[in-house]
C-alpha cells in the first residue's frame, strides 16, 4: 500500500473531516489503526453533534477493519453498553455515512463482520442512504456495475428497505433488485423483485414509471436491459426481459411531446453519401443471396427517423416494412386533433431538415426515395408486430451495436422470416476506430476501448453495447446459418496501431482493431 500522510492530532485539526473523507478511500490501510485510535482519544472531550457523528463512524471503522478490541470500549460506552446499536447511535451513524458518502464501505463492514459482538451490534441497523444521496451514489455504482462492493451494497439495500414505507425509495428498490438478479445473485435478486410483480410477471405501470424516471439519464435503461438479457441465469433472463420490456406507448407520447430537434439543413450530407453506399452493398448482397426484389417482402430493422433504405426500396417499388423505435414523424400514430396537429408540425420540421439529405441520397444512389408504398412501424425489435414467416428477407444497417438485447432481436427477426429467409446486416464493431462514432479518432485512437465501463454512449449520442465480433457470431448462429462474413478493413488502423497502442490493447486482436465494418448474410435455419 502507498504511504499515507497522517496529520498530527494534538490538537485535532479543523479540517479533520476532509482527512477522514480521503482516508475512507483506503479504509484498511495498516497505518490508520493507530492514527484512528489516537483520534478517538484526542477528541474524547469534544461533544458537539458534528464531532459525535464522525466519532461514531471512526469507532465502527476501527472495529470493522482492525478488530473489535481496538475500539470496542469506546463503542460500548457510547452505546450505553447495549449489545445492539441504539436508536441514538444509529441516527448518528446514518448521518455520518450520508455526510461522508461511505455507504459502500459500511455495507462491506456489515456484510463481512466476523466477530459475533460486531454481528450483534449491526443486527438492528439498516444502511439506507438519504434519498438525496442516491443519485450520486448510483453514478458511482453505474461506473462499477460488476464490482463486489456494488453487489454487497445493493443486496443490503434490498433487505434493509424491504419494509420501508417511503414511496420515494420504491423505484430505487426495484432497480437494486433487478441489478442483483442480473449481475450478482439471480435467486436473491428475483426474490427481492417478486413483491413488485403482478401475476403476469410484469411491473405495475406506476413502478415502471418510477424505474424509468431513475434510468432516463444517459441511456441507463438500455444499459440495465443489456445486463438483464446477458445474465448467465436462464430464469433471470426470462423474468427480467418481461420486467424491462420497453413501453412503446410512452416512446410515442414522448416523441409527440418533444421539440422538433432535427439537425440543421446540410448537416446530413456526408451521412447520405454513406447510406447510399450501404444501399448499393445491400442490393448486391440481396442478389447474391438469391432474393428477387420484385417478388419479395423485405423488413428494414432499425432504420430510425431517416429510414434511408426503406425510402430507397420504396423508390424501387419493393414491398418494404420498417420497424424502429424512432420513426419519421409521418409514421407516428396519433389520437385526436391535438396530436394530429403536433405530428404535422414535426413532419414539417423534419422535411425542412432532411430535404438536402434525401436529395444527396438520390443523387448518390441513383434511386429517388419514395414513401407512398412504405410502412414504418414504431416498435421495439424484440417485439416486431408482424406474424411468423411474414417476410422473405430482413436488412439491418449499423443498428445491432445500438441494441441492448441483440440475441432477443435476432430471434425475433428470425421469427418473422420465412423458412430459409435471409438476414443481411452491416455491423460497425465497437473495436473499430469509428466504433464509438467519435468525431476525431486520430487524436486518441481506440480511446473508447480503454474505458472499462459496461456500456458506452457514442459520439453521436446513441447508446452502444460494446459487443465484439465473436459475440455477434455466437448470437447469429442460434437462429441462422452464416453464409457470408465480409470484413472491410480500415486503412488508417495499420498506421495508427503503434507498439504503444498494441500494448494498451493487448486483449484485442489486430483483425478486430483494423475492421471498419462487417457485412453478413445469414440464412434462417
pLDDT digits (tens, 9 = 90+) for 456-496: 788 888 899 999 999 999 999 999 999 999 999 999 998 99
User: What average pLDDT does range 229-250 have in this prediction?
Assistant: 93
What distance in Å separates the CA atoms of residue 488 and residue 517, rounded to the nearest whole number? 5
What pLDDT score does 339 carry? 94
Higher-pLDDT residue of 219, 117:
117
pLDDT bin (cut points 50, 70, 90) of residue 364 is very high
pLDDT bin (cut points 50, 70, 90) of residue 1 is low
User: What average pLDDT does range 30-50 have in this prediction?
Assistant: 94
42 in Cβ contact with 64 (< 8 Å) = no
Chain-centroid distance of CA 81 in Å reads: 47
Please say if the pLDDT value at position 396 is more than 90: yes
C-beta pairs of 356-360 under 8 Å, 24+ apart in sequence: 356/265, 356/266, 356/268, 356/269, 356/272, 357/268, 357/269, 357/271, 357/272, 357/306, 358/272, 358/311, 360/268, 360/269, 360/272, 360/273, 360/276
C-alpha distances out from residue 305 to 223, 314, 330, 437, Å: 22, 16, 10, 18
What pLDDT score does 501 carry? 83
What pLDDT score does 437 carry? 86
What pLDDT score does 47 carry? 86
Mean pLDDT, the chain, integer: 94
What pLDDT score does 354 carry? 95
All structural domains of the chain, each given as residue ranges with its CATH number in brackets, are 16-122 (no CATH), 131-245 (no CATH), 269-524 (3.40.50.150)
How many residues in total does the chain contain?
Answer: 525
**Rounded to two decimals, what is the model's pTM?**
0.91
What pLDDT score does 452 carry? 64
What distance in Å separates the CA atoms of residue 492 and residue 434, rounded to the nearest whole number? 11
What distance in Å separates the CA atoms of residue 111 and residue 499, rounded to the nearest whole number? 44
What distance in Å separates the CA atoms of residue 172 and residue 207, rounded to the nearest whole number? 10
What pLDDT score does 461 carry? 83
158 in Cβ contact with 196 (< 8 Å) = no
What pLDDT score does 443 carry? 78
What pLDDT score does 200 carry? 92
Please say if the pLDDT value at position 2 is more than 90: no
DSSP 8-class letter at 282: H
Write the pLDDT tens digit of every residue in 452-465: 666 778 888 889 99
Write the pLDDT tens digit of every residue in 289-315: 999 999 999 999 999 999 999 999 999
What pLDDT score does 3 carry? 78
What distance in Å separates the CA atoms of residue 309 and residue 324, rounded to the nearest whole number? 12
What pLDDT score does 218 carry? 63
What pLDDT score does 464 carry? 93
Amino acid at each position: 500500500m502507498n504511504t499515507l500522510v497522517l496529520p498530527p492530532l494534538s490538537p485535532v485539526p479543523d479540517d479533520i473531516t476532509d482527512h477522514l473523507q480521503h482516508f475512507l478511500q483506503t479504509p484498511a490501510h495498516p497505518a490508520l489503526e493507530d492514527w484512528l485510535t489516537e483520534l478517538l482519544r484526542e477528541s474524547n472531550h469534544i461533544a458537539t453533534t458534528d464531532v459525535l457523528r464522525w466519532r461514531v463512524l471512526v469507532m465502527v471503522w476501527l472495529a470493522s477493519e482492525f478488530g473489535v478490541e481496538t475500539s470496542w470500549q469506546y463503542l460500548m460506552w457510547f452505546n450505553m453498553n447495549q449489545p445492539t446499536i441504539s436508536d441514538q447511535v444509529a441516527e448518528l451513524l446514518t448521518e455520518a455515512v450520508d455526510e461522508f458518502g461511505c455507504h459502500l464501505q459500511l455495507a462491506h463492514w456489515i456484510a463481512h463482520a466476523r466477530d459475533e459482538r460486531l454481528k450483534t451490534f449491526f443486527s438492528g441497523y439498516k444502511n439506507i442512504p438519504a434519498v438525496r444521496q442516491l443519485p450520486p451514489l448510483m453514478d458511482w455504482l453505474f461506473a462499477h456495475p460488476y464490482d463486489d462492493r456494488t453487489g454487497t451494497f445493493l443486496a443490503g439495500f434490498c433487505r434493509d428497505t424491504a419494509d420501508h414505507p417511503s414511496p420515494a425509495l420504491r423505484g430505487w428498490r426495484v432497480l437494486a433488485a433487478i441489478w442483483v438478479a442480473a449481475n450478482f445473485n439471480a435467486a436473491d435478486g428475483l426474490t427481492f423483485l417478486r413483491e413488485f410483480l403482478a401475476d403476469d410477471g410484469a411491473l405495475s405501470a406506476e413502478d415502471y414509471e418510477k424505474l424509468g424516471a431513475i434510468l432516463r439519464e444517459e441511456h441507463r435503461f438500455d444499459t440495465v436491459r443489456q445486463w438483464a438479457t446477458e445474465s448467465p441465469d436462464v430464469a433471470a433472463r426470462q423474468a427480467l426481459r418481461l420486467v424491462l420490456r420497453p413501453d412503446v406507448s410512452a416512446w410515442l407520447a414522448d416523441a409527440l411531446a418533444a421539440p422538433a430537434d432535427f439537425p440543421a439543413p446540410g448537416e446530413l450530407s456526408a451521412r447520405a453519401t454513406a447510406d447510399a453506399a450501404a444501399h448499393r452493398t445491400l442490393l448486391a448482397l440481396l442478389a447474391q443471396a438469391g432474393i428477387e426484389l420484385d417478388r419479395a417482402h423485405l423488413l428494414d430493422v432499425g432504420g430510425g427517423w431517416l429510414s434511408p433504405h426503406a425510402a430507397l426500396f420504396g423508390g424501387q417499388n419493393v414491398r418494404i416494412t420498417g420497424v424502429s423505435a424512432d420513426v419519421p414523424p409521418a409514421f407516428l400514430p396519433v389520437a385526436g386533433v391535438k396530436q394530429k396537429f403536433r405530428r404535422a408540425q414535426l413532419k414539417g420540421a423534419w422535411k425542412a431538415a432532411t430535404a438536402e439529405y434525401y436529395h444527396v441520397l438520390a443523387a448518390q444512389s441513383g434511386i429517388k426515395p419514395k414513401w407512398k408504398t412504405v410502412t414504418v412501424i414504431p416498435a421495439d425489435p424484440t417485439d416486431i408486430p408482424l406474424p411468423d414467416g411474414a417476410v422473405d428477407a430482413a436488412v439491418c444497417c449499423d443498428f445491432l451495436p445500438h441494441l441492448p438485447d441483440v440475441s432477443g432481436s435476432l430471434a425475433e427477426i428470425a421469427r418473422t422470416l420465412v423458412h430459409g429467409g435471409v438476414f443481411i446486416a452491416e455491423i460497425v464493431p465497437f473495436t473499430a476506430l469509428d466504433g464509438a462514432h467519435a468525431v476525431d479518432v486520430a487524436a486518441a485512437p481506440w480511446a473508447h476501448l480503454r474505458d472499462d465501463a459496461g456500456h458506452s454512449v457514442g459520439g453521436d449520442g446513441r447508446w452502444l453495447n460494446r459487443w465484439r465480433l465473436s459475440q455477434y457470431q455466437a448470437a447469429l448462429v442460434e437462429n441462422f446459418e452464416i453464409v457470408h462474413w465480409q470484413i472491410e478493413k480500415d486503412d488508417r488502423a495499420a498506421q495508427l496501431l503503434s507498439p504503444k497502442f498494441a500494448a494498451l490493447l493487448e486483449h484485442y486482436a489486430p483483425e478486430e482493431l483494423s475492421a471498419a465494418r462487417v457485412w453478413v448474410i445469414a440464412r434462417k435455419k
